Structure 1
Amino acid sequence: MPRNAAELLALGDDRYLSTLALRVFRAGLKHSLVDAKWPAFEEVFFGFDPEKVTLMGAEHIERMMQDTRLIRHLGKLRSVPRNAQLILDIREQHGSMGRFISDWPVTDITGLWRLLAKRGNQMGGLSAPRYLRMLGKDSFVPTEDVVAALKSQGVVDKAPTSQRDLAAVQEAFNQLHSESGRPFCQLSVMLAQTVNH
């Protein structure tokens, strides 16, 4: 089950940044490998305090490239201070990342994906919906099986990337949610299970 608004609000901005960075580093890698190294990331990124992380310069990131405890991917390491700045910008506008995420209507969750992909760093593809799922924000994830189910129902004819296709998928999930009362995360899994391989 997704977290409720109070639970999302209770998460500090450091946890939003840590989870965002974890999502970025997990992309394309074995999750258990990343998870095993995560305590070192928490240490070198000052517990993912966004204010401290935004002060990290290029020389700090370069030193991290020599740290064997970390996954030494320069682009992903550089994304952390950039995403920390995103969280600080959102905090300035909305009070906290938790307030921003919890207040965003699930009936426009694809709009939140687009915002995170546009303003965040390394947040394209399925990273934004997976990040929201990791946080506990109710979201569907358009995996291959979910897309196959949506294609079989005539909602889309390919993986949704255009605003038009994302709007059609959002509308389909809104309808399913309205009819069933189930959260998007459950509907996503149920749709995926309808696909025969």
Structure 2
Amino acid sequence: MRDYQWLYQYCLNRFGSVEALEARLPQPKSPEELRALGDDRYLSIISLRIFRAGLKHSLVDAKWPAFEEVFFGFDPHKVVLMGAEHLERLMHDERLIRHLAKLKSVPRNAQFILDVAREKGSFGALIADWPVSDIVGLWKYLGKHGTQLGGLSAPRFLRMVGKDTFIPTDDVVAALKAQGIIDKAPTSQKELAAVQAAFNEWRAQSGRPLCQLSTLLAHTVNH
């Protein structure tokens, strides 16, 4: 695989200046910021990610104030009490995206957040303290214990809340293939470990967060 210096120089040549390149790179939140985010906000963002999946983001975002209203501001202690009849009633609310499986995911993920908070003190503590050197392990944890957080939903949720992560988008996967790290989209533990190891090496070489390395890597794919 190519080293970080090649990766940065390739992108610098593409965008012409350090300023233009740096402006494209995301900034992760600090552990303190992640820990300070309330459990209600984590539940809201998890739910937003789930409803965005497969739909136009602007459509979902426009409806989100109504979701905040009907789900009690995503207070997990209140949402977890919502039973099947309550969710069936929401299926008749025209302000919402009426997708029953996705609606059902909200109280289930409220229970997940409460379970984590009982063990860790808050859901934010889990997110803040998880080492980025094993970010794929956090994806796996969220996918296993949460509802509808498989595939790219876990890394996209983490990016939304500001947790440092790479995302195996089509461009990132194409770049990883070009670097000889994988030969297809990573799904197995072995493939994910290989990708994590590559990002850890670039991180050690550069001191940059995973989200920036992921963005740089995506820009090495020609369109």
Give 1:66-81 correspondences, 5 Å limit.
66-81=92-107
Give runs of ≥4 in structure 1 deviating > 6 Å.
none
Q: Which has the higher contact order (CA 8 A, sep 6+)?
A: 2
AA partner of residue 221 (structure 2): V
State the partner residue of 1:130.
156
Give 1:45-56 correspondences, 5 Å limit.
45-56=71-82
* 1:77-122 alpha-carbon deviations (Å, 9 max, x no partner): 0000000111001001111011110000000000000111111111
* 1:2-61 alpha-carbon deviations (Å, 9 max, x no partner): 000111111000000000000000000000000000000000000000011110000000
Gaps of 5+ in 2: 1-26
Does residue 182 (structure 1) correspond to residue 178 (structure 2)? The answer is no
State the partner residue of 1:153.
179
Does residue 38 (structure 1) correspond to residue 64 (structure 2)? The answer is yes
With structure 1 as the length reference, what TM-score do the two structures score? 0.99
AA partner of residue 176 (structure 2): L
Distance 2:118 2:199 in 1: 31
- The CA deviation at 1:196 is 1.2
Does residue 107 (structure 1) correspond to residue 138 (structure 2)? The answer is no
Flag the structure with larger Rg. Answer: 2
State the partner residue of 1:14.
40
* 1:105-161 alpha-carbon deviations (Å, 9 max, x no partner): 000000000111111111111000000000000000000000011011111110001
Which residue of 86, 91, 109 maps to 1:83? 109
Distance 1:183 1:134 in 2: 15
Distance 2:59 2:209 in 1: 30
State the partner residue of 1:164.
190
Identity of aligned residues (%): 72
SS at match of 2:208: coil
Which residue of 8, 20, 25 maps to 2:51? 25
SS at match of 2:54: coil
SS at match of 1:114: helix
Distance 2:161 2:148 in 1: 17
Gaps of 5+ in 1: none
AA partner of residue 99 (structure 2): H
State the partner residue of 1:3.
29
Q: Give the paired residue count.
A: 197
